Chains A and B, each alone.
Chain A
Amino acid sequence: MGGITGNAVALRVSVGILVLLAFVPLLHSSYDENLVRGVLMFATLSFGWNLIGGYTGYVSFGNVVFFGIGCYTTAALWQHWHQQNVVLSVVLAMLVAVVFALVLGIPILRLRGHYFAIGTLGIALATQEIIANVDWLGAGAGFPVRPLDAYLVYFYAMWVVCAASMLATFFIARSKLGYAFVAIRENEEAAAVLGVDATRYKVIAWAISAAMAAAAGAVFAGANGFIDPPTAFATDDNVFPVVMALLGGVGTVAGPLIGALILTAINETLWSHFPQIHTLFFGAVIVLVVLFLPRGLLWLLNTRGGWKGFVRTLGAYRV
């Protein structure tokens, strides 16, 4: 079954890569550790986005708000209660994020298409602004967050969070829940006629994606050592996961991880060769990805007709 989980070979390869990544600390290079921890973080964010944007078809442009919530949970736990326990902050972050998603989800998921996308963007921007005005959360200046001495914990925590997200996506995709999501994406009205309570399942999808993003944020905050509004709600953390899912394949299980790997590789290459204008090149990369891979690499592998078929798909959306 290629469809709802994606290309089976790619899935096995991705699991293999994920397992291999767990051994990176053996290289004893903190640069590599940080790099791979970044990949795992972005992959997690992308898995989260993929559930609401890829599987359910509700393109969120504000999932970074949940990442930010995760960051601030860890930061608050340290600042106010001197807690550094990673498991505690991850669990608490997920809880807060899910509540946030449930409360806001009901009004915001009534919007569709462009309205939903910009609405979620608005939520992310507004939350960032509001936190910048709340002293208890450090306001504009932010908080330092003291990392654990056993810094390696953060690497493995991020790995666990990423692996759990991928596993969750896999099981959800094959389950009744996954089919509810996809039915909503394909035709929300027809899905209702078939008994799918769209409101309920949209909110569930968004809540799960919130939990994933928050878990990533909770680990990141400890590793980063410092949290302020621009760090917690960075545009990169909002957009990269979407581009990664697009690159790897929206609505597949392995897509987010593959996209995270490739895009990080490209980003690192650009950083090391063109430090001044790497963001400029990154913009170009985004443009190219969108133009040539409208649904991502994994869907490309399934396109019929080889090269000619591929070229034909390029012209499908023009006037």
Chain B
Amino acid sequence: MQLFAQDLVNGILVGGIFAVVALGFSLVWGIMNIINLAHGAFVMLGAYTAYVLFSTWHIDPFVSVPVGFVLLFALGYGIQRWVINWVVRAPLLTPFLLTFGLSLLIINVVLVIFHGDTRGIETAYSGSNFSLGPVTVAWTKLWTLVVALAITAVMHVWLSTSRTGRAIRAMAMDIDAAQLSGVRVSHLYAIVFGLGAGLAGAAGVLISLSYSLQPSMGDPFVITAFVCCVLGGLGTVQGALVGGLVYGVLGSFGAQYIGTGLQDAVALVVLLIVLIVRPRGILGKATA
């Protein structure tokens, strides 16, 4: 029973990060119909940003979260506006391979600068825990969850109420109509991609607090993001949140009862079950 509760809590704690990663991925997929295979690389860049800021100027990673967001937003905006935009409406294979190529580029640039050594961030509070009944909770992870939930909430509010947010949603529904009504689609697309990257970067900063860094650390996050989106339902903030939390918990139990070496197998099984039983996901709307 204690093990069950611990697994559950661990799952929720990591699920918050998954939710942020999934949200960025979901925005780009839902609005631009692009599966960004470089999404994991953006997460990794966020983590390395936190690392550099911490090791050079002792800036606490929690403070680096907005920095990571802004930097990655700018990078994402640029990449979409001046590279991906050329093929953004092309059939599936083209943007797929393009983002894969970009991912290779990014990972290798980091490899050249930082080499393949594993790095980590040790803050003053890194190891401290507290007890909640039978369960041990790391402070870092708890605050990470709080920040992750805050980010999700802010994005939800912004998308629903701001002018840009509403323009984005209009564009998602009918891009030609939006273009005809004066919406600057190329700019908005770049904003959406930038948001996706920024969210990935913010998640990366949060991850750097609890996990070690390597140039290839972002790779698993593409599949994770995909599964969370499918699980929770594509295109909404709530979907990404639910998908992230549920997947975090499933992964946690999976690691406990099936073993840590089989994450991808677990992910695949979850993916296939969802796609066959309820393709729209937990919160997704049924399509015609």
A contacts, CB < 8 Å to B: 53, 59, 61, 107-108, 110-111, 113-115, 117-119, 121-123, 125-126, 128-130, 132-133, 140, 239, 242-243, 246, 250, 276-277, 279-280, 282-287, 289-291, 294, 314-319
The prevalent SS among residues of A at the interface is helix
- B104 part of interface (Cβ distance < 8 Å): yes
Interface centre among B93, B98, B223 (most CB of A within 10 A): B93
Contact of A283 among B108, B179, B259, B264 (CB under 8 A): B108
Structural contact, A130 and B101, CB atoms closer than 8 A: no
Bound state CA distance, A318 and B82, in angstroms? 10
A66 CB to closest chain B CB, in angstroms? Answer: 16
Given contacts A111-B275, A319-B89, A319-B189, is CB(A59)–CB(B96) below 8 Å?
yes
Given contacts A122-B264, A125-B223, A125-B264, is CB(A317)–CB(B90) below 8 Å?
yes
Interface residues of B in 38-87 (CB under 8 A from A): 83, 85-87
Contact of A117 among B96, B109, B230 (CB under 8 A): B96
Bound state CA distance, A113 and B35, in angstroms? 11
Bound state CA distance, A119 and B264, in angstroms? 11
- B268 part of interface (Cβ distance < 8 Å): yes
Bound state CA distance, A223 and B226, in angstroms? 37
A173 CB to closest chain B CB, in angstroms? Answer: 19
- B10 part of interface (Cβ distance < 8 Å): no
Bound state CA distance, A144 and B185, in angstroms? 55
Structural contact, B271 and A290, CB atoms closer than 8 A: no
- B267 part of interface (Cβ distance < 8 Å): yes
Residues from chain B with Cβ under 8 Å of A276 in the complex: 112
Other CB < 8 Å A-B pairs besides A126-B267, A277-B112, 5 of them? A111-B275, A117-B92, A122-B264, A317-B89, A318-B89
Total interface residues on B, CB under 8 Å, equals 47
Contact of A286 among B90, B100, B263, B264 (CB under 8 A): B100
Structural contact, A283 and B86, CB atoms closer than 8 A: no
Structural contact, A115 and B275, CB atoms closer than 8 A: yes
B93-126: CB near A (< 8 Å → 1, else 0) gives 1101110111111101101100000000000000
Bound state CA distance, A231 and B262, in angstroms? 18
B143 CB to closest chain A CB, in angstroms? Answer: 32
Given contacts A119-B275, A133-B262, A283-B105, is CB(A317)–CB(B86) below 8 Å?
yes
Contact of A318 among B85, B112, B271, B272 (CB under 8 A): B85
Residues from chain B with Cβ under 8 Å of A132 in the complex: 261
Structural contact, B92 and A287, CB atoms closer than 8 A: no
Q: Pull 28 A–B residue pairs with CB atoms less than 8 Å apart, ordered by A.
A: A61-B96, A117-B92, A117-B96, A118-B271, A122-B264, A122-B272, A123-B268, A126-B265, A128-B264, A129-B262, A130-B265, A140-B261, A239-B97, A243-B97, A280-B108, A280-B112, A284-B101, A286-B104, A287-B98, A287-B105, A290-B87, A291-B87, A294-B87, A317-B89, A317-B94, A318-B85, A319-B88, A319-B185
Bound state CA distance, A303 and B88, in angstroms? 21
Bound state CA distance, A111 and B268, in angstroms? 13
B181 CB to closest chain A CB, in angstroms? Answer: 15
Bound state CA distance, A317 and B33, in angstroms? 13
Chain B: which residue is nearest A108 at the CB level? Answer: B272
Contact of B268 among A114, A122, A286 (CB under 8 A): A122
- B253 part of interface (Cβ distance < 8 Å): no
A289 CB to closest chain B CB, in angstroms? Answer: 8
Bound state CA distance, A286 and B265, in angstroms? 29
Structural contact, B261 and A290, CB atoms closer than 8 A: no
B165-206: CB near A (< 8 Å → 1, else 0) gives 000000000010001000001100100000000000000000
Structural contact, B267 and A294, CB atoms closer than 8 A: no
Structural contact, A290 and B94, CB atoms closer than 8 A: yes
Bound state CA distance, A314 and B35, in angstroms? 21
Chain A: which residue is nearest B89 at the CB level? Answer: A317
Structural contact, B86 and A279, CB atoms closer than 8 A: no
Contact of B35 among A117, A277, A286, A316 (CB under 8 A): A117
Structural contact, A246 and B93, CB atoms closer than 8 A: yes
Residues from chain A with Cβ under 8 Å of B267 in the complex: 122, 125-126
Structural contact, A119 and B104, CB atoms closer than 8 A: no
- B276 part of interface (Cβ distance < 8 Å): yes
- B221 part of interface (Cβ distance < 8 Å): no
- B29 part of interface (Cβ distance < 8 Å): yes
Structural contact, A291 and B97, CB atoms closer than 8 A: no
- The list of the 7 closest CB pairs from A to B, nearest first, reads A283-B104, A286-B101, A280-B108, A283-B105, A317-B90, A122-B268, A125-B264
Chain A: which residue is nearest B219 at the CB level? Answer: A235
Chain B: which residue is nearest A277 at the CB level? Answer: B112
